[in-house]
Structure 1
Amino acid sequence: MTKISAGLEHAFATQGFAQPSVEDLRDAAGVSLRTLYKYTPSRSDMVYAALEYRHQRYVTLICDDLPADRQQALFQMLDRIGHWMADEATHGCLFHAAVASAPTDSRLHELLERHKSEVAARAAKATQLEGQEVSLLLIFEGLTQTWPLYRERAVASAQKLARHLLDD
């Protein structure tokens, strides 16, 4: 299933949610149409599988193996988000794009909320900023939204804001 989810994630991240046909998604997953439908019986299930896979990759990359020092941990998370944006998310957040493509799909809203909440909770724990999850998420989201325009300057600005949060 991981191979299928990885292929689906890549297809949706590069082509959006409306463009790829089921045949395109089958090709991206590298399996037969029968196998694709066995594991993801509908197009919606294909989107959910891609987002679940994306969530795990993102959380692992951003939140695992952080330094014990809270400032270093937070700055490393921000650096990692910058690298993620450069390498993986040049078109912005895939979760927000999914919700925008199907605004009445409650499961997509739940996936978005779970993704953002888990990232914020793990960041708060790693930086000893429990209770500041919304502030952390605001910095992270601001970074992901401004990165396409300002790149490394966006990371530096996010680190500056993070320093204020740590000092409070």
Structure 2
Amino acid sequence: MNTREKILQETEQFILASGIEKLTLSKIAKRLKLSQPAIYKHFKNKEELLTLLALRWLNGRILVQIFPFDTKNNQEQKEIIHDWLWAVANAKYQAHLKTPEMFALYTTYIGENLELSRNHIMEMIESLKTAAKLETAEQAAAYIQAFAYFHHPKIAPQWDEAFQAQFENVWKIIANQPENLLT
């Protein structure tokens, strides 16, 4: 494992154990028996380190479970769209419950970064479009926008035990629209 990877791994372990509020680069350097300037050889600043860590967590722990989306068990486009939307929502909901420290990092360093947030949404749009064989990216974007409550990190503090029931209620509204909206 190279030094850059060790720094990322140690930073994640520190955040999980102590929270992001107590994180300093000097603490990470000390735990790795490095000088603090050695960290700056790999990351230009703390923000870059935390942004890369948030992206690594999102892509490696959350999205890897759902991208590319497996459609083998689904026959109808409507089922694929529902199951894709639920997979994204549930993955983020579970991440919020199981690793709130890392979810907070994701919220701050991806959810609040316009470019990274836009890239994340574009990846979601392309994934849904491909999985459901939608004709346009705009169709996929409309579904993702309609279900923003269930995947946007800024809304996570409102998520509770009724999360899945709320999701299904919104889906019923969408699913009961004329068929031409689903194609």
**Which of 117, 123, 129 is the equivalent residue of 1:124?**
129
**Which of 67, 71, 74 is the equivalent residue of 1:67?**
71
Residues 117-154 of structure 1 show CA distances to partners (whole Å, capped at 9, x for unaligned) of 11122112211222313212213422133771332113
* Residue 144 (structure 2) aligns with: 137
Contact kept in structure 2, 1:120 and 1:134, CA below 8 Å: yes
Question: Residue 42 of structure 1: CA displacement?
Answer: 1.2
Contact kept in structure 2, 1:75 and 1:159, CA below 8 Å: yes
Structure having the higher Rg: 2
RMSD, matched Cα:
3.6
- Structure 1 residue ranges without an equivalent (≥5): none
Question: What is the CA–CA distance in structure 2 between the aligned matches of 1:44 and 1:111, rounded to whole Å?
Answer: 13
Q: What is the percentage of aligned positions where both structures have the same residue?
A: 11
Question: What is the CA–CA distance in structure 1 between the aligned matches of 2:177 and 2:66, rounded to whole Å?
Answer: 19
**Which of 48, 51, 57 is the equivalent residue of 1:54?**
57
Map residues 89-100 of structure 1 onto 2, 5 A cutoff. 89-90=96-97, 95-98=106-109
* Residue 163 (structure 1) aligns with: 175
Q: TM-score, normalised by structure 2?
A: 0.63
Question: What is the CA–CA distance in structure 2 between the aligned matches of 1:166 and 1:24, rounded to whole Å?
Answer: 58
Question: What is the CA–CA distance in structure 1 between the aligned matches of 2:178 and 2:132, rounded to whole Å?
Answer: 8
Q: TM-score, normalised by structure 1?
A: 0.67
- Structure 2 residue ranges without an equivalent (≥5): none
Cα 1:38–1:78, aligned 2, differ >3 Å: closer, same or farther?
same
Aligned length: 158
* Residue 45 (structure 1) aligns with: 48
Question: What is the CA–CA distance in structure 2 between the aligned matches of 1:8 and 1:46, rounded to whole Å?
Answer: 9
Cα 1:132–1:33, aligned 2, differ >3 Å: closer, same or farther?
farther
